[in-house]
Amino acid sequence: MKSKVFSLFLILFSLLLDCGKKEAPKLPGDRKDLKIGICPGPYGDLLKKGVFPDLEKKGYKIQIVQFSDYIQPNLALASGDIDANLFQHVPYLKKFTADKGLKLAAIVNVPTAPMSVFAGKTKNPKDLKEKGSIALPNDPTNQLRALKLFQELGFIKVNPDAIPTKASLNDILENKKQIQFLPLEAAQLPRSLESTDFSAINGNFAIASGLDLTKAVILETLAEEHKNIIVVREDEKDSVFAKDIVSAVQSKEFEEVIDKDFKGFQKPEWFGKKK
């Protein structure tokens, strides 16, 4: 009888020990399978050529997930469907997360193709007629960037105090030619060249549609805040995988890829400081 009781005690004791051997919980971001969201354009190639080789050496398996607009990549990131994204700049991220109540954070910015104005039905800006048509992005931050390019071309005058996150066509102070502005989703802008006189097109969508940035009417000089950023969930900004992504982006190998295959891209300020 005593031996049976003792055996039962040993079994219970073993079970208790097993329960105490639970694996320590992994830290946020402590994983090797990653999904990174992008929009059409050159940034998938930028990641594949300049970032993934370094990450793969560290044991990462990475999948590119492509989105067709500027809305879904942040929603997918917030919901956990992807682990990071690369498509936006800081002002857009701030406005989008504030509007949607999302907790996302930028970890590093990368060389970026500038917004450009391309000729559609009219080839020379000097030939733009009264009530000509111009297409531009419909989100506030990118719309203001476009308006400033059209101001450089002498088409309009823009409110110098316009707030990027709240900008609209109402910030046009002077429009002597009564230009008709057509706000569109960024992905639709390349197609608008067939029906408008000029279009301001985000660099990634211009390249994705086969447009040559060197043939643009005018190229934007990017402010630092308008250079594209890699974004993760806020609680993973200090994670292992986030730090490894930053390390790969700031590597010598990445810079060599940019200099060779992404000529014309405007580099972040840290490029010059890291040497």
User: What is the domain-level CATH number for residue 102?
Assistant: 3.40.190.10
Residue 118, CB-side half-sphere exposure with 13 Å CA sphere: 24
Residue after which a domain boundary falls, among 172, 195, 221: 221
Asked whether residue 120 falls in the same domain as residue 78, the answer is no
Domain contains 78: yes
205 and 147 together in one domain = yes
**What is the per-residue pLDDT for 4?**
52
10 Å Cβ neighbour count for 32? 13
Each residue's pLDDT, cut to its tens digit, for the chain (275 residues) gives 545 544 545 454 454 444 444 443 445 567 999 999 999 889 999 999 999 999 999 999 999 999 988 999 999 999 999 999 999 999 999 999 999 999 999 999 999 999 999 999 999 999 999 999 999 999 998 999 999 999 999 999 999 999 988 999 999 999 999 999 999 999 999 999 999 999 999 998 999 899 998 899 999 999 999 999 999 999 999 999 999 999 999 999 999 999 999 987 999 999 877 65
Residues 151 and 54 in one domain: no
Residue 30: phi and psi, rounded to 5, are: -85, 75
pLDDT for the residue numbered 28: 58
Query: How far apart, in whole angstroms, are the C-alpha atoms of residue 68 and residue 120?
Result: 23
Among 172, 192, 221, the domain boundary falls at 221
Give a yes or no: residue 13 inside a domain.
no
Pair (150, 129) in one structural domain: yes
What pLDDT does residue 128 have? 97
Beta bridge partners of 219: 116
- Is residue 15, in this structure, part of any structural domain at all? no
Q: How high is the pLDDT of residue 158?
A: 98
On whether residue 60 sits in a domain, the answer given is yes
173 and 257: one domain? no
| Cα-only R_g, the chain | 25
How is residue 184 annotated by DSSP? E
| In a shared domain, residues 101 and 233 | yes
Give me the pLDDT at residue 1, please: 53
> What are residue 38's DSSP bridge partners?
66, 86
87 and 102, same domain (yes or no): yes
Give the range of the structural domain holding residue 234, as residue numbers without chain letter. Answer: 33-112+225-262
pLDDT on residue 122: 97
Domain assignment of residue 145, yes or no: yes
58 shares a domain with 98: yes
- What one-character DSSP code corresponds to residue 195? T
* Per-residue model confidence (pLDDT) at position 141: 87
Find out whether 21 and 207 touch, Cβ atoms under 8 Å: no
Q: Are residues 62 and 196 in the same domain?
A: no
Does 74 map to a domain? yes
Number of domains in the chain: 2
Domain contains 9: no
Are 130 and 188 in a shared domain? yes
Say if residue 147 is in the same domain as residue 66: no
Decide if 25 is inside a domain: no
Contacts for 192 with CB less than 8 Å, ≥ 6 apart: 120, 135, 182, 184, 199
Are residue 217 and residue 120 in the same domain, yes or no? yes
